[in-house]
Amino acid sequence: MLRCKSALRRMIVGEEWSSSSYVATPVGKDTVDCIFDEEDFWIPCDEIVKFVKPLVVLLRVADGEKPAMGYIYEGMDREKEGIKSVYGGDESKYGPIWEIIDRRWHHQLHRPIHAATYYLNPAFHFSPTFKVDVEVINGLYSIMEKMAPAGSTQTELIRELQLFSNAQGETFSCPIAKESRTTMMPGRNKL
């Protein structure tokens, strides 16, 4: 609609529209009013596009054949903050949108594996904007408990996790590992 705004306005003032049988109908009159209503139609339309477009891109990643789970988690966080900024931090405006997103996110997409893959993605983990909260840590530990039997295996995982988090050890501290943090997809760089 936004891309067609000028064309729609030209159409409404054009000869073909004014000679149309629709021009005198209630629907025709409402259409004209709507197309010229900047405040109640075009401005809200622009706002909707600002927050829906990035969400659609994110949903395409989630619906992909092999979605990169850590990217979905981080993307959802980023998009919600973007929506908040569109409304200047006014919770009365962005709050209802966040509620809709959260309802879908928590019931369908939000799983511990998303939080774990976000934490373990070097592109995010070593970024200055990386945030670790209780939800992320709980998701990470939940997955670790499911994937490794109790005892020595979990202890080894914790040790490896510390090496990863501190970029230590041969695997995580070498220059090529540091350089590839943002250039390689996790799990796709096997030799």
pLDDT value of position 89? 93
Over its C-alpha atoms, the chain yields an Rg (Å, rounded) of: 24
Helix, strand, coil shares of the chain as percentages rounded to 5?
A: 75, 0, 25
pLDDT-based confidence at residue 90 (cuts at 50, 70, 90): very high
> What mean pLDDT value characterizes the chain?
83
pLDDT value of position 188? 55
Upper half-sphere CA count for residue 66 (Cβ side, 13 Å): 4
Q: Tell me: the pLDDT tens digits for 37-73? A: 999 999 989 888 887 887 787 777 666 655 566 677 7
Percent of the chain at pLDDT exceeding 70: 90
124 pLDDT above the threshold of 90:
no
Upper half-sphere CA count for residue 168 (Cβ side, 13 Å): 7
pLDDT value of position 25? 92
Q: Tell me: the pLDDT tens digits for 157-183? A: 888 899 988 888 877 888 888 888 877
pLDDT-based confidence at residue 26 (cuts at 50, 70, 90): very high
Query: What is 88-139 written as a DSSP string?
Result: TT-HHHHHHHHHHHHHHIIIII--HHHHHHHHH-HHHHTSTT----HHHHHH
pTM of the model: 0.60
pLDDT-based confidence at residue 109 (cuts at 50, 70, 90): low
Upper half-sphere CA count for residue 190 (Cβ side, 13 Å): 2
pLDDT value of position 55? 77
